[in-house]
Amino acid sequence: MKILVIDNYDSFTYNLVHYLEDLNCKVTIYRNDEFDIDEIKNFDKILLSPGPGIPDEAGLLKEVIKTYAATKSILGVCLGQQAIGEVFGGSLINLEKVYHGVATNVNILVDNESLFDGIEKQIEVGRYHSWVVNTSDFPDVLEITSTDENGQIMSLRHKTYDVRGVQFHPESVLTPNGKKILENWVNSRQ
């Protein structure tokens, strides 16, 4: 399995890479502003890493989604999920409370989400963010697959494409099921 990780200049990126390598994936890393969009076509899956700021400040991040959503399996983490939300017509909300190294409970809302196969309906996750995808103008082409206790979107998926996102960090020690979630994505076939 050849996986491309788009590094959005985040220190957590290499934790994700190590998890993927532990799952026997061949991982290549491109910084979000140091590649040509055509270089991606030979990868099986694309992981969009966390990162600072907002998606519009993250190089070619949104262009990757626009170009490959219909043909590649994509998983967005934190900033990556936010970019997915925006690309498909949603907006972001800047939260009053910043979550940095905070463990919270997340409720899984759907039974058939492959990311959560073999995982309980409520899980603890590690959060490191101040933005979330807005529920008030949530795009019809996407589906919310989990929320926190305040109804904030913690994961989503595209209704047609093999595109998914998680707001939380699966690579964090605060996400006990994180490696299983990544394994489920690696092994998923849509």
Q: What is the pLDDT of residues 62-83, one digit of tens each?
A: 999 999 999 999 999 999 999 9
Which position among 86, 113, 169, 183 bears the catalytic label? 169
Q: Is 171 a catalytic residue?
A: yes
Q: Is the pTM for the entire model greater than 0.75?
A: yes
113 φ, ψ to 5°? -90, 115
Cα angle vertex 153, ends 148, 155, to 5°? 100
Separation in Å, CA 17 to CA 89, 98, 168:
29, 26, 16
The per-residue pLDDT for 189 is 82
Q: Which residues of the chain have pLDDT under 50?
A: none
Classify domain 2-187 at the CATH class level.
alpha beta
The per-residue pLDDT for 77 is 99
Q: Is 124 a catalytic residue?
A: no
The per-residue pLDDT for 190 is 62
Task: Give the strand pairing for 73-77 and 163-166.
Answer: parallel
Q: Domain segments of the chain: what residues?
A: 2-187
Separation in Å, CA 67 to CA 125, 172, 187:
30, 29, 23
Rounded Cα–Cα distance for residues 4 and 104 (Å): 29
Which position among 86, 113, 171, 183 bears the catalytic label? 171
